[in-house]
């Protein structure tokens, strides 16, 4: 039976990574992440992949995880609630997953794997391959299938001097390359950038100059999962005689978990709590803060508006943004930096010193990996369409035959049969939005309504009628919110009231005893007025009460 490669998320977008590998009617999912929306998707916390195909196909055998970033593990609670299958991952990754699943009351087998030790997941024998990324314990996977070896790199870079000592195992990738690789699925996030990414060690060295020059507090905004960078800051703090406080729940959790399993070492006496930090002179404190992407409820965002319960930002404090804005977050990050600057902070954002290193390979590193693996077929994964395309061009330049390079997006399937890869039929795919308050699915219709209300405003119209006779007892009464030039007593307001009244009057007494008929008339009457106003289409909410 043929092998099918089915992207359910992460191809054509940044985030929501989920790749289904299917053979003999059995399925393994590589990663299950979320994507964070931009400000245009109102009231939505995250998007997860649409698992309709998994449901229709008959379920899932296992999930294997490349690493513990949210865009690779954040969708697990929703998936595992419906498909409670075993989850395979490295030690640190599973620690992060366990914390998340406990919050949701979900219990599934969590099975720890190690690089160079084979395990069986679903129909596949798999080997984790050590890679370097911006989070510890990251791996790719080599899957033994009936159609040959398929390698999924996960997110990776080639860092020759990593802080944690976890170099990408290029030798093992090359061994697979010499034996023959049917398909390579490889991270494309930085494929448009030439050359090599900055080493994490260079970031540690880049911190030294601004840290030594700082006169007040130093605040470092970073991803909570970047344990290696936390280690670098702790080491420098010990050298400079400063204390470090962690600001942010996720940062505290990740640091604790990494320390428990020996991935992070805290120099004696360096780490302090909020209460102690609040008593220290500014020149003796470094604040490590989550919220580098401008998240509104993060510790850094609260400090920027003076709303943190203990930590503060004063004039002369230095804020270092040790991160790159995720596509779509640029405005939020800029607004956060401006709020901090208004409080008198000195903002440091990529000057002469390297203060951030990406965890994703650039084109030079991608070329090295392609040269080592030399796959028969190549599929760029993880990235927007232009990133996938740039990576495909690199593969062709490195000698992969153009006929063996496939650029696909979510829901577009690939079939490997008889040593050849071809495109298959599409499967259901897309995004399922989760509400920021209830965690429930949010339909496209609801999102459109929210967008309309935010853009044009809302008009509520009420009528009270006798349920037996249809006599109008009160109304129609209108209330506008967020609608321009719709003040009570104004011409447009008066025309809307009159039009609603006329629409109700046109109904028969019998129709006026039916709430749906009354609400339809109210809606038609108000909308009729706004149709005469170019570009004015507020949401209309009719309400009929029968007494």
Query: Using one digit for the tens of pLDDT, what is the confidence trace for 432-487?
Result: 877 544 455 554 555 565 565 566 678 888 889 888 888 888 888 888 777 767 77
Residue 452 CA to residue 456 CA, distance in Å, equals 6
The answer to whether residue 526 sits within a structural domain is: yes
Residues 213 and 333 in one domain: yes
Residues 337 and 229 in one domain: yes
Sheet (strand 218-221) strand order:
271-272, 243-247, 285-289, 218-221, 318-321, 346-348
Residue 335 belongs to a domain with what CATH number?
Answer: 3.40.50.10710
3-state SS assignment for residue 232: helix
What is the model's pLDDT at position 125?
97
Residues 36 and 171 in one domain: yes
What the block records as the tokens of 72 is 């690779």
Residues 56 and 191 in one domain: yes
Residue 69 CA to residue 435 CA, distance in Å, equals 21
∠ CA 67-70-76, rounded to 5°: 85
What is the model's pLDDT at position 435?
58
Span 388-406, average pLDDT: 97
Contacts of 485 (CB under 8 A, 6+ apart): 492
Residues 185 and 311 in one domain: no
Span 44-48, average pLDDT: 74
- Asked whether the beta carbons of 67 and 137 are under 8 A apart, the reply is yes
What the block records as the tokens of 354 is 């390297």
Residue 469 belongs to a domain with what CATH number?
Answer: 3.10.20.580
Q: Model pTM?
A: 0.81
Considering the chain, what is the average pLDDT of its residues?
89
Weakest mean pLDDT among 12-16, 52-56, 227-231, 309-313: 309-313
Query: Which residue's entry shows tokens 């061994």?
Result: 175
The answer to whether residue 52 sits within a structural domain is: yes
The answer to whether residue 118 sits within a structural domain is: yes
The answer to whether residue 457 sits within a structural domain is: yes
What is the model's pLDDT at position 437?
44
From 394, 410, 441, the end of a domain falls on: 441
Residues 429 and 453 in one domain: no
Question: 42 or 406: whose pLDDT is higher?
Answer: 406
Residues 386 and 484 in one domain: no
Span 358-377, average pLDDT: 97
Residues 241 and 320 in one domain: yes
SS3 content of the chain, % helix, strand, coil (to 5): 35, 25, 40
Residues 131 and 208 in one domain: no
From 441, 459, 492, the end of a domain falls on: 441
Please count the structural domains in the chain: 3
Residue 400 belongs to a domain with what CATH number?
Answer: 3.60.15.10
The answer to whether residue 154 sits within a structural domain is: yes
The answer to whether residue 130 sits within a structural domain is: yes
**Continuous H helices in 398-482:** 444-456
What is the model's pLDDT at position 228?
93
Query: Which residue's entry shows tokens 């696909």?
Result: 408
Q: Is the pLDDT of residue 138 over 50?
A: yes
- Asked whether the beta carbons of 228 and 200 are under 8 A apart, the reply is yes
The answer to whether residue 302 sits within a structural domain is: yes
Residues 420 and 435 in one domain: yes
From 348, 379, 406, the end of a domain falls on: 348
Q: 358, 278, 296, 335: which is closest to 287 by C-alpha?
A: 278
What the block records as the tokens of 53 is 């195909």
Residues 235 and 324 in one domain: yes
Identify the band that residue 399 occupies on the pLDDT scale cut at 50, 70 and 90: very high
Residues 371 and 510 in one domain: no
Residue 87 CA to residue 122 CA, distance in Å, equals 11
Weakest mean pLDDT among 46-55, 89-98, 237-246, 378-387: 46-55
Q: In terms of residue numbers, what domain contains 58?
A: 3-195+358-441
- According to DSSP, residue 512 is labeled G
The answer to whether residue 353 sits within a structural domain is: no
Span 278-285, average pLDDT: 94
3-state SS assignment for residue 476: strand
């Amino acid at each position: 039976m043929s092998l099918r490669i089915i992207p359910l998320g992460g191809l054509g977008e940044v985030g929501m990574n989920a790749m289904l590998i299917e053979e003999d009617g059995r399925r393994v999912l590589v990663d299950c992440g979320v994507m964070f929306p931009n400000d245009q998707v109102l009231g939505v916390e995250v998007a997860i992949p649409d698992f309709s195909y998994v449901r229709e196909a008959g379920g899932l055998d296992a999930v294997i995880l490349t690493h513990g970033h949210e865009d690779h593990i954040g969708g697990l609670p929703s998936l595992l609630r419906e498909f409670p299958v075993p989850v395979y991952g490295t030690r640190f990754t599973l620690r992060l997953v366990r914390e998340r699943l406990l919050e949701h009351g979900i219990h599934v087998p969590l099975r720890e794997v190690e690089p160079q030790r084979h395990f069986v997941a679903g129909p596949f024998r798999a080997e984790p391959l050590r890679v370097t990324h911006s989070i510890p314990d990251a791996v790719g996977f080599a899957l033994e299938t009936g159609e040959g070896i398929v390698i999924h790199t996960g997110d990776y870079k080639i860092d020759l001097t990593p802080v944690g000592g976890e170099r990408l195992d290029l030798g093992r990738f090359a061994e697979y390359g010499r034996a023959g690789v049917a398909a390579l699925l490889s991270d494309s996030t930085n494929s448009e950038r030439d050359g090599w990414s900055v080493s994490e060690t260079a970031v540690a060295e880049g911190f030294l100059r601004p840290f030594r020059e700082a006169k007040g507090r130093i605040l470092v905004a970073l991803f909570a999962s970047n344990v290696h960078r936390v280690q670098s800051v702790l080491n420098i703090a010990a050298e400079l005689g400063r204390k470090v406080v962690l600001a942010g729940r996720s940062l505290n959790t990740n640091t604790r978990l990494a320390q428990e399993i020996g991935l992070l070492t805290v120099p004696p006496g360096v780490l302090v709590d909020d209460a102690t930090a609040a008593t220290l002179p500014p020149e003796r404190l470094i604040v490590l803060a989550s919220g580098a992407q401008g998240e509104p409820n993060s510790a850094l965002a609260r400090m920027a508006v003076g709303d943190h319960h203990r930590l503060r930002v004063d004039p002369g404090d230095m804020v270092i943004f040790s991160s790159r804005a995720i596509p779509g977050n640029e405005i939020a990050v800029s607004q956060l930096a401006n709020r901090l600057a208004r409080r008198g902070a000195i903002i440091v954002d990529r000057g002469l010193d390297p203060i951030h290193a990406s965890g994703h390979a650039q084109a030079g590193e991608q070329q090295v990996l392609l040269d080592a693996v030399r796959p028969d077929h190549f599929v760029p994964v993880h990235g927007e369409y232009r990133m996938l395309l740039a990576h495909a061009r690199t593969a062709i330049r490195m000698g992969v035959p153009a006929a063996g390079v496939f650029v696909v997006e979510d829901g577009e399937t690939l079939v490997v049969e008889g040593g050849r890869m071809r495109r298959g039929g599409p499967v259901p795919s897309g995004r399922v939005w989760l509400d920021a308050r209830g965690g429930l699915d949010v339909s496209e219709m609801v999102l459109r309504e929210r967008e309309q209300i935010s853009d044009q405003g809302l008009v509520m119209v009420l009528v009270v009628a006798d349920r037996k006779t249809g006599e109008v007892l009160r109304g129609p009464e209108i209330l506008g919110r967020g609608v321009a030039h719709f003040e009570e007593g104004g011409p447009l307001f008066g025309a809307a009231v009159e039009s609603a009244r006329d629409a109700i009057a046109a109904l028969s007494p019998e129709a006026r005893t039916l709430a749906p008929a009354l609400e339809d008339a109210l809606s038609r009457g108000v909308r009729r007025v706004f149709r005469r106003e170019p570009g004015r289409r507020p949401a209309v909410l009719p309400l009929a009460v029968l007494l």
